[in-house]
Structure 1
């Protein structure tokens, strides 16, 4: 049973919640998370409005600003032990764990690079590209997979084109939009392999703003209970999951040493359930 809602908050004097602005052309990356956040506020009966920060921010800069309660009120990001120590998470995975289901972006000239990859050992000769502050970088390295990093999301695509690394693992709910973006020209989704590790994308708040986190959490719980969370998820990602052809892929399972012990893995309704036919 849901608890009663706390008093509604105002993130600033004008009743605005500030979130990190994406770089020009990358606004599509925020559409789903903002829709779920707005849904949570609506379910909580909140009149708070969502507005982007004045300047665009890469992930770590946004998390630092949020930690110090400067210019930002919310960030959504993949969780880790370190991030949950610094910030206040709402432990309901926006992505239903699908940020841990990864398909490789490849140059179109190397589309069959992974055709003979069946195991982790088969994957180790290839180098992945990742953000320098992404938890995924540490997860891959923990398994002996070589990683080259960049501080810029956009530069990773240029580095892949230039073959500075071999593949760019992307979640099954990101990769198709990225391929349709201009920077995705002459790139393809690998058709053979699926990397999987337990992961969750959460809304994070400053530890100085527990009431705001509580309002969003209770709104999300209401959306889960009445089915509106799932409807929004399917609206955005049902087609992406069909395109991923999960049952046709070789799955390579990885552990996630950064996953906090408080992750609600026991709440099965919060997580994507893979088709039983996935190899």
Structure 2
């Protein structure tokens, strides 16, 4: 074979070879979230739906995806250890806690604009009139209040001088309230109405106070296992995209405007306490970027934009 024929044959061989090279498909990203505590626990539904939007927004450059739940519900102390491993659960939507930012990969973009820090109180019917007379924070502190043992708001309440009675389980706190172990059970306005509805049959004596709102600066962010940095990169990329293109605000306000109106913030006495787990500079930055809400803002105006 002459040299020219050899070169031509080699060129054709390389050309044909390149045609049949198949680019390997990107591996599917699997997001494993915590299982709900019970059939009445709706706390994680919004973060589940938001994660679906985040993953779909990044499909073209990060590949296919799947979202599933852990086989069993895990308390927040166990969740941290399992998140570090990344085998049973690898993503959690949660408020900042001691050690979490250092042990996990935090995506510091609030997924609920701080609305879970707008705390209203589930109480027993017999205390409704008493709460109607509350005008000062000192009066509110006179009533023992319930909290989960690992909840981020517990520390803020204790430092502010509240008498905090701790329960070990989510459903157990409703039983404790019914039995009079404490007087009030503070919940975010994104949680309170659904929770009260789902527990009405079991606890018909529980009602929602409509006089007081306690504002605790509080965010929920996605935490990702340190063993899954690429998944963390994908989630952060997706969150930034839906914030920039307006989809995040659309989803958020469509989800929560009805509850915001229902809470009648303008008619409530609003108190505020500090949250030691929120850095003040970071809080200011988030508010300036429109990522955090104030309980005194004009929600009628903003909700009209997204819900008409």
TM-score (norm 2): 0.81
What does residue 275 of structure 1 align with?
296
**Structure 2 alignment gaps of length 5 or more:** 1-24, 300-308
Distance in 2 between residues matched to 1:117 and 1:276, nearest whole Å = 23
Shift in CA distance, 264/216, structure 1 to aligned 2, threshold 3 Å? farther
More deviation, 74-83/34-43: 74-83
The answer to whether structure 1 residue 198 and structure 2 residue 217 are counterparts is yes
Distance in 2 between residues matched to 1:161 and 1:75, nearest whole Å = 30
The answer on whether the counterparts of 1:81 and 1:259 sit within 8 Å (CA) in structure 2 is no
- The number of residues matched between the two structures is 268
Distance in 2 between residues matched to 1:9 and 1:102, nearest whole Å = 43
More deviation, 42-51/55-64: 55-64
The answer to whether structure 1 residue 32 and structure 2 residue 15 are counterparts is no
Task: Give the secondary-structure state (helix, strand or coil) at the position aligned to 1:235.
Answer: helix
The answer to whether structure 1 residue 248 and structure 2 residue 267 are counterparts is yes
**Structure 1 alignment gaps of length 5 or more:** 1-7
The answer on whether the counterparts of 1:178 and 1:184 sit within 8 Å (CA) in structure 2 is no
Higher gyration radius (CA): 2
Task: Give the secondary-structure state (helix, strand or coil) at the position aligned to 1:94.
Answer: coil
| Superposed CA RMSD | 2.1
What does residue 60 of structure 1 align with?
77
What does residue 56 of structure 2 align with?
42
What does residue 125 of structure 1 align with?
142
Between structures 1 and 2, the one with greater helix share: 2
Shift in CA distance, 184/77, structure 1 to aligned 2, threshold 3 Å? farther
The answer on whether the counterparts of 2:153 and 2:216 sit within 8 Å (CA) in structure 1 is no
Task: Give the secondary-structure state (helix, strand or coil) at the position aligned to 1:50.
Answer: strand
Task: Give the secondary-structure state (helix, strand or coil) at the position aligned to 1:114.
Answer: helix
Distance in 2 between residues matched to 1:220 and 1:191, nearest whole Å = 34
What does residue 5 of structure 1 align with?
none
Q: Deviations over 1:36-57 (max 9, x none)?
A: 1111111112421001111122
Task: Give the secondary-structure state (helix, strand or coil) at the position aligned to 1:169.
Answer: strand
The answer to whether structure 1 residue 23 and structure 2 residue 37 are counterparts is yes
Which structure ranks higher in relative contact order (CA pairs < 8 Å, sequence separation ≥ 6)? 1
Distance in 2 between residues matched to 1:274 and 1:146, nearest whole Å = 24
- Following superposition, the deviation at residue 27 of structure 1 comes to 4.8
Within the candidate set 154, 157, 177, 1:160 is matched to: 177
Shift in CA distance, 134/173, structure 1 to aligned 2, threshold 3 Å? same
Distance in 2 between residues matched to 1:64 and 1:259, nearest whole Å = 22
TM-score (norm 1): 0.89
The answer to whether structure 1 residue 99 and structure 2 residue 120 are counterparts is no
What does residue 172 of structure 1 align with?
189
